[in-house]
Amino acid sequence: MSTKRFTNLMQGKEAAISVRKKKDFTVDEWYIYWRDNFKVSTVKRGTLDSYNSIFNLYIHPFLGHIVLSQVSSVEIQNFYNELARNDYSKATITLIHALMTNMFRHAYRLEFIEKNPMELVILPRGRQKQERRVLSREEQEILLHYLVGSELETLVLFALSTGMRIGEITGLTWDNISFEKDEVYVREILKKDRAGNFYKDVPKTLKSVRTIPLLPKVSTRLAAYKKFQDKRQSSGHAAKAKEYKFLGKLVFSRPDGSPYSDLQLCRMLRRTVDEINEDGIEFAPLTPHCLRHTFATRALENGIPAKVVQELLGHSSVTLTLDLYTHVLHETKMEEIQKMSSLF
C-alpha cells in the first residue's frame, strides 16, 4: 500500500476496507480493519489516538507493506531487536508489543492467518527508564521564585500542590472547583490529536475520577487568579476564548484564551530553567510531569500514607504507587525506625 493511501485510510478519507480474500491483507490494511471493526466502538478516543501514533511511527514503516499471512515470528523478532539496538525504551517496545499482540490475536481467531507469529516472539530488554526527575525542596523554592509574576506561576503552584496529571490540569474547568469546600473534582482530561485539535476525554482509569483537597493558601491564590482571568476575558484580551468555548470555562488558559498543550508547557518550563541556569544556579531540565512526581515525593516525605497518596494521584492500585516511589519510602522508613531507638 502506498504511503499516501495508508495516510488517507488512517484519516478516514477512504471507505472502510472490505473483507476480500483473507490472504490479500497487508499489515497496514489489517490494522485499519482491526481498528475500525473491533476498537472504534470499544475504547476511548485518546486510546485510538495512541494506537494510531504507535502504529504509524513504528509498525507501519517496518512491517506495514508485508502481507499479513506472510509475517513470521522471525520478522517480528528482528523488528523488536532493531528497536532495542536503536535505544528505544523497554516501555515503548512493550506498548508496540501489546498492540501487535492484539492485532494478530484477532487475525488468528478470525482465520485470516493460519498461526499466530506473536506466540514465539520474545521481548528484548530495551533501554531502562531513567530515574524520575523530582525537585528537591530547594529546587522547588527556586522554581517558584523565578515564576513569580509569570504566566505559569499559578499553574505550577497548583500542580505541585495537587499532583494532578498535566492533561487533568489543562482540561480543568471552574465548575469542577469548590471554593466552599476547598476541593477539586477530576472528571475529564484535555488532549490534542495529531491534527492539532483539542478535545476532552474521560480520565485514564476509574481511579482517576477523584476528589482532591485544596490547601487553603492555594485555594486563596486560585480565587484571586479567577478574578484576574474573568477581568482579562471581559476586557476582550482573551480573543480565542469563544473559539474554545466547547471545552468549558478552563481554569488555566493562555492569555489569548486558548488551551495549553503539553508541548507549550514543556517549552515554557525549559525557558525558565534556562533563565535559572543563566544566573549561575545549576538546575537540571524539567518537564511538566516532574511536578506530579515532586508532589508525590513531598507527600510521602511528610508521612502521608501510601494508600492516601495513591488516591490523590489517581493510581489504579497502591502497588503502582509503591513501585514508583520505593526510594522515597525507603528513606522515610529509615528515618521512622530511628524513633524506636530509645526503646533499646
Asked whether 319 and 309 are in contact (CB, 8 A), the reply is no
Average pLDDT (306-332) is 82
Instruction: Please give the share of the chain, as a percent, with pLDDT higher than 70.
Output: 87
Q: What is the pLDDT of residues 220-279, one digit of tens each?
A: 999 999 998 888 887 777 778 888 989 999 999 998 889 999 999 999 999 999 999 999
Q: Alpha-carbon distance 234 to 199, whole Å?
A: 24
Record the pTM: 0.75
253 closest CA partner among 230, 279, 274, 280: 230
pLDDT classification of 71: cutoffs 50, 70, 90: very high
Helices 288-301 + 153-162 axis angle, to 10? 40
Phi-psi region of 230 (alpha: psi -120 to 50; beta: other; left: phi over 0): alpha
pLDDT classification of 28: cutoffs 50, 70, 90: very high
pLDDT at 319: 85
Q: Alpha-carbon distance 23 to 66, whole Å?
A: 11
Q: Give SS3 for 186.
A: strand
CA torsion angle 311 312 314 317 (round to 10): -30
Asked whether 283 and 139 are in contact (CB, 8 A), the reply is yes
Lowest mean pLDDT among 20-24, 211-215, 285-289: 20-24
Q: How far separated are the first and last CA of the chain, in Å rounded?
A: 75
Q: Alpha-carbon distance 9 to 6, whole Å?
A: 5
Asked whether 68 and 20 are in contact (CB, 8 A), the reply is no
Q: Which residues make beta-bridge pairs with 89?
A: 127
21 closest CA partner among 75, 68, 76: 68
Task: Name all domains of the chain by residue range, CATH numbers in brackets.
Answer: 3-120 (1.10.150.130), 137-337 (1.10.443.10)
Q: 37: which 3 cell numbers?
A: 471493526
Average pLDDT (92-97) is 92
Q: Alpha-carbon distance 96 to 31, whole Å?
A: 13
Q: Alpha-carbon distance 148 to 154, whole Å?
A: 9
Amino acid at 141: E
Q: Alpha-carbon distance 167 to 262, whole Å?
A: 8
Instruction: Indicate if the pLDDT at residue 15 is higher than 50.
Output: no
pLDDT at 233: 80
Q: Alpha-carbon distance 153 to 240, whole Å?
A: 21
Q: Give SS3 for 130.
A: coil
